[in-house]
Structure 1
C-alpha cells in the first residue's frame, strides 16, 4: 500500500480534476501524513489553482 512520491504527485494533480476513488484517497492521505515534500506540493498546487480562478474571474 506504499505510494511513491511520483505516484502521490499524480494523484494530487488528478484529485484537482476528478474525485479520487476511496482507495486512491486513502493511499494519498497516508502518504501525505508521512511526506512533507508532497504536502508542500499539494499546498502549492492548490494555491496555483486558486490564483488561476481569481485571474479568470478578473479579480485582483
Structure 2
C-alpha cells in the first residue's frame, strides 16, 4: 500500500492490490490514513496548515 504512494506500480501489482483491497477493510482504512498523513506531512514541510477535509 505504501509503495503505491511512492512509485507507480506495475500492472500486476495494481491488480493484486486492488483485489486485496476489495476484500480487506482494514487495508482500505490504512490507505485512507496514509493519504491523510501524507497531506499533513506535506503541509508541515511547507510551513502551514492545510485543509484536511479533502
Give the count of matched residue pairs.
49
TM-score, normalising length from structure 1? Answer: 0.76
Q: Tell me whether 1:40 sits opposite 2:34 in the alignment.
A: no
Residue ranges of structure 1 left out of the alignment (5+ in a row): 1-11
* TM-score, L = length of structure 2: 0.84
Provide the aligned C-alpha RMSD in A.
0.7
> Where do 4+ consecutive residues of structure 1 move more than 2 Å?
none
More helix by share: 1
